[in-house]
């Protein structure tokens, strides 16, 4: 069992909202809410200024607007957030080969495996250096927790928020855990928490007092043993460098229920195509096609079909999804649809007939699109201007969309380098001089330039800063330690949700 606090948990502070504030000078220090802006949208992230009004992640956007009517409401820019995340993850991998990303803004790091830390003092030094480097490279802040286990490191980073560092000293774990809610333990969600509460167990101390046998009786053998061990501050879960992808899926929630069966079918086909693109992008194929349907009354149905072999063929996935839809009653209306593929593999068992059929469908769709483009009766499609997204005007330069409607789009022209708010202009939505643009980087210098200037970017500690004889508790530190857990093969799972 590890005793030195060399497991690091990094959680970027209000990541999506902070990235938007950093890129838009007029929003710095203001309430910012990022998420779906439709009637059924939910909050992805709220800035700390918005949280003062009670706005939180996963809250319905309509409720957020009632609580903070004057906040800036923006559509997520996932490509932009992903580029920043890649910079942060690169800094983490400079610390250790064992980095376990949980999402775009959160990860565990085994500092001992990278010889970046071996005791409390060196771990704190590595954590502070990491926070400095993240700010230098991205302009954003992150909170760091350090402890002897993943569970405690995550609890420590929560206590460090925002923009702080908390290290849980060896020997203090039980005292820290005891008064916390049972929900602080991994695996205790709302249902398990309510079940324990009805049994009179609301704190971690009460879990320990209940005893292992009682917990097994209440929540089952596997979960009961695990909860009891964690209540005693025992968490042997290793940091896993790569997480195996279990499924690839896409889904859409609709602002208005879809009642037309033909429209539902077309949406399923479109989702199937998106799912296959994501599948191929990951270099994967799968055997099981899954359809998810949430109906007007919030009831959710899931149907699946397992093929003879793995596929990444769009025609095969479309046909399977269509067959699954035939078994679902959508009479009352549909509010959400999703298509997924599981049973993943790194190879494809070709079905030549299905592949040919898929190619034929693709060709027909392409021809249909060309006919529409060339047809004289086709009505022009109004360009969409998502709130918060980047634009460029031939005369005014780079800006972002403040809002649009009634044939007009309002743009604020400013860049991340500007010291203050930029000027605002309104245009027709079809203005030929205005177009969507790629986001500008938050920092004008890259990590290499900063490293050359400051010499402070994370790197293995020089030998003259390492202790000649590490303490016994850290004696396993080695470039190839036989006792360290081996990382599982596979690919990282792709969730886009983010927590603040």
Which member of 20, 100, 106, 319 is catalytic?
106
Cα dist. 277→2, 245, 274, 363, 497 in Å? 42, 16, 5, 17, 19
Cβ neighbour number for residue 250 with a 10 Å cutoff: 20
CA 392 to chain centre: 28
Is 242 catalytic? The answer is no
Euclidean distance between CA atoms 455 and 449, whole angstroms: 10
Nearest to 34 by CA among 54, 12, 19, 53: 19
CA 257 to chain centre: 27
Cα dist. 383→266, 405, 407 in Å? 22, 11, 10
Cα dist. 375→224, 362, 379, 382, 432 in Å? 66, 20, 9, 17, 22
Contact 154, 177 (CB under 8 A): no
Supply 350's token pair.
């070709």
The CA R_g of the chain, rounded to the nearest whole Å, is 26
Please list the active-site residues: 106
């Amino acid at each position: 069992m590890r005793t030195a606090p060399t497991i690091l948990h990094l959680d970027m502070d209000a990541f999506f909202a902070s990235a938007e504030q950093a890129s838009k000078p007029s929003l710095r220090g203001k309430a910012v809410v990022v998420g779906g802006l439709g009637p059924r949208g939910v909050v992805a992230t709220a800035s700390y200024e918005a949280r003062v009004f009670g706005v939180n992640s996963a809250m319905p956007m309509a409720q957020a607007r009632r609580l903070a009517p004057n906040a800036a409401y923006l559509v997520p820019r996932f490509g932009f957030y992903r580029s920043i995340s890649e910079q942060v993850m690169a800094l983490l991998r400079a610390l250790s080969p064992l980095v376990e990303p949980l999402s775009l803004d959160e990860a565990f790091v085994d500092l001992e495996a990278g010889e970046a830390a071996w005791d409390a003092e060196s771990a704190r030094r590595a954590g502070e250096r990491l926070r400095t480097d993240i700010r230098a490279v991205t302009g954003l802040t992150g909170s760091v927790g350090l402890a002897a286990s993943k569970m405690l490191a995550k609890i420590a980073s929560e206590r460090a928020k925002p923009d702080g560092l908390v290290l849980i000293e060896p020997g203090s774990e039980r005292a820290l855990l005891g008064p916390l809610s049972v929900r602080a333990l991994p695996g205790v969600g709302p249902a398990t928490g309510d079940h324990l509460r009805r049994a009179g167990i609301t704190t971690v101390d009460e879990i320990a007092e209940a005893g292992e046998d009682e917990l097994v009786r209440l929540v089952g053998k596997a979960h009961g043993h695990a909860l009891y061990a964690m209540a005693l501050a025992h968490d042997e879960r290793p940091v896993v460098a790569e997480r195996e992808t279990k499924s690839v899926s896409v889904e859409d929630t609709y602002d208005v229920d879809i009642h037309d069966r033909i429209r539902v079918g077309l949406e399923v086909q479109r989702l199937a195509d998106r799912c296959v693109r994501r599948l191929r992008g990951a270099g994967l194929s799968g055997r099981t096609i899954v359809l998810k349907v949430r109906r007007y009354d919030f009831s959710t149905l899931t149907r699946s079909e397992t093929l003879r072999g793995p596929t990444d063929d769009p025609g095969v996935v479309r046909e399977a999804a269509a067959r699954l839809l035939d078994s679902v009653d959508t009479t009352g209306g549909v509010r959400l649809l999703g298509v997924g593929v599981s049973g993943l593999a790194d190879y494809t068992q070709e079905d030549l007939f299905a592949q040919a059929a898929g190619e034929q469908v693709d060709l027909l769709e392409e021809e249909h699109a060309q006919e529409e483009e060339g047809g004289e009766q086709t009505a022009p499609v109004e360009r969409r201007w998502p709130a918060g997204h980047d634009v460029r005007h031939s005369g005014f330069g780079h800006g972002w969309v403040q809002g649009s409607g009634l044939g007009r789009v309002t743009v604020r022209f400013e860049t991340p380098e500007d010291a203050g708010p930029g000027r605002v202009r309104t245009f027709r939505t079809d203005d030929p001089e205005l177009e969507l643009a790629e986001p500008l980087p938050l920092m004008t210098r890259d990590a290499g330039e900063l490293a050359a200037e400051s010499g402070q970017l994370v790197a293995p500690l020089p030998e003259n800063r390492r202790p000649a004889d590490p303490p016994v508790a850290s004696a396993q530190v080695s470039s190839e330690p036989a006792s360290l857990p081996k990382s599982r093969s596979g690919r990282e799972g792709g969730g886009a949700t983010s927590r603040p």
